[in-house]
Amino acid sequence: MQEQTAWGRRLASATTEQAVVYRDVLVPAVFGPCATQLVSTAVQGDELRVLDAGSGTGAVARAAAMRLRPGAHVTAVDLNGAFLGAARGLQARAGASNAEVTYQQGDVLELPFADGTFDLLLTQHVLQYLPELPRAVEELARVTNADGRLWAVVWQGLAANPMFRALTELVRRQWNEELAERFSAPWSLAPERLRQVMEGAGLVDVESVGLDVMAHFRSVEEVLWVVAFSPVGAALRQLEPSEAAAFTARMRQAVTPWHEGTGVRAPMAAGCVGGRRAPAL
Ligand SMILES: C[S@@+](CC[C@H](N)C(=O)[O-])C[C@H]1O[C@@H](n2cnc3c(N)ncnc32)[C@H](O)[C@@H]1O
């Protein structure tokens, strides 16, 4: 496995407890609604073998399975077994879907599959955490079959994600530019750059679709959980209690424009970039 970014390390080492919070808080708030839009953009319905690469707790895999026909199969791969465990726990409770989903541990940079295994490859909010983007896209393209499609979702920049832009600004003021950059890494891979990398990897008919997600956190605490889980968490825990309390108060204040009742509702913009593997000659 190659060296991960700071966020990549946090995600890849998330504990079972954190994976369950991710599944029960962040997926309903953000990643589930995003997965629904990715799947309605990317899944035609006639694909038989689908891969969800960097599946986390399986939001994309489950949404795809609902849209595929019986007999299709979705494989969900993630580096972190804690996410996969949380995903399997949810699947046991979930209703029936058309396609079967299996969860498997693996690295997106070295996928444990033969060339051309999948008809459709989906990956949501993963590529921005990997240290070698072109290599990751080439690896995803390798396991996509000739004429198969690869779709990847990444967030657009902070200018289009105002709540996290406000939180990044607080991190910059409290600490420094370096920590602010690490915190904002999820919003640092522009869909336009991803499009270029896909074209560079030999994909054809590359297209980009904007996704407007309305994130809905049930409480401010859920937003604060994201910051505590992020690469800022370690610095936050090193603050004196009074300083940590003051910073937390500033975060609460910063998200007030997005308060709705007891929760927080904030627009988040993503980009979904897709390309096709050229058919074999
Ligand atoms: C922000 S989460 C997104 C998860 C999921 N796609 C979703 O939309 O909920 C990023 C995921 O990428 C996984 N990940 C990071 N680096 C990886 C790698 N090299 N190989 C496989 N998974 C990786 C993390 O473990 C984490 O589950």
Question: What per-residue confidence (pLDDT) applies to 281?
Answer: 61
Question: What per-residue confidence (pLDDT) applies to 278?
Answer: 87
pLDDT tens-digit series, residues 149-171: 999 999 999 999 999 999 999 99
Quick check: is 1 in a domain? no
In the chain the first and final C-alpha atoms are separated, in Å, by 33
CB 269 within 8 A of CB 160: yes
Q: How far is the CA of 18 from the centre of ligand 1 (A)?
A: 13
Q: How far is the CA of 46 from the centre of ligand 1 (A)?
A: 26
Quick check: is 117 in a domain? yes
Q: Is 61 in the pocket of ligand 1 (CB under 6 A)?
A: no
pLDDT tens-digit series, residues 251-271: 999 999 999 999 999 999 999
The pLDDT of 98-102, averaged and rounded, is 90
pLDDT band at 1 (very low <50, low <70, confident <90, very high): very low
Q: Is 79 in the pocket of ligand 1 (CB under 6 A)?
A: yes
Quick check: is 43 in a domain? yes
Q: How far is the CA of 54 from the centre of ligand 1 (A)?
A: 4
pLDDT band at 43 (very low <50, low <70, confident <90, very high): very high
How far, in Å, CA of 51 to CA of 120, rounded?
Answer: 6
Q: Is 31 in the pocket of ligand 1 (CB under 6 A)?
A: yes
Pocket test for ligand 1, best of 11, 24, 164, 272 (most atoms within 8 A of CB): 11
Report the atom number in ligand 1 closest to the C-alpha of 56.
27
Question: What per-residue confidence (pLDDT) applies to 279?
Answer: 79
pLDDT at 2 over 90: no
How far, in Å, CA of 168 to CA of 163, rounded?
Answer: 9
Q: Is 25 in the pocket of ligand 1 (CB under 6 A)?
A: no
pLDDT at 234 over 80: yes
Question: What per-residue confidence (pLDDT) applies to 124?
Answer: 98
Q: Which amino acid, one-letter code, is at 139?
A: E
Report the atom number in ligand 1 closest to the C-alpha of 4.
16
Q: What is the mean pLDDT of the chain?
A: 94
pLDDT at 93 over 80: no
CB-CB neighbours of 256 under 10 Å: 10
Q: How far is the CA of 261 from the centre of ligand 1 (A)?
A: 31
CB 208 within 8 A of CB 240: no
The pLDDT of 226-236, averaged and rounded, is 96
Count of domains for the chain: 1
Q: Is 211 in the pocket of ligand 1 (CB under 6 A)?
A: no
Q: Is 18 in the pocket of ligand 1 (CB under 6 A)?
A: no
- This prediction has a pTM of 0.96
Task: Tell me the residue range of the domain where 112 lies.
Answer: 6-277
pLDDT at 238 over 80: yes
| Domain CATH number, residue 28 | 3.40.50.150
CB 28 within 8 A of CB 62: no
pLDDT tens-digit series, residues 44-82: 999 999 999 999 999 999 999 999 999 999 999 999 999
SS3 sequence, the chain? CCCCCHHHHHHHCCCHHHHHHHHHHHHHHHHHHHHHHHHHHHCCCCCCEEEEECCCCCHHHHHHHHHCCCCCEEEEEECCHHHHHHHHHHHHHCCCCCCEEEEEECECCECCCCCCCEEEEEEECCHHHCCCHHHHHHHHHHCEEEEEEEEEEEECCHHHCHHHHHHHHHHHHHCCHHHHHHHCHHHCCCHHHHHHHHHHCCEEEEEEEEEEEEEEECCHHHHHHHHHHCCCHHHHHHCCHHHHHHHHHHHHHHCHHHEECCEEEEEEEEEEEEEEECCCC
How large is the C-alpha radius of gyration of the chain? 19
How far, in Å, CA of 272 to CA of 97, rounded?
Answer: 24
CB 184 within 8 A of CB 229: no
Angle between helices 220-229 and 241-254 (to 10 degrees): 120
Quick check: is 61 in a domain? yes
Q: Is 63 in the pocket of ligand 1 (CB under 6 A)?
A: no
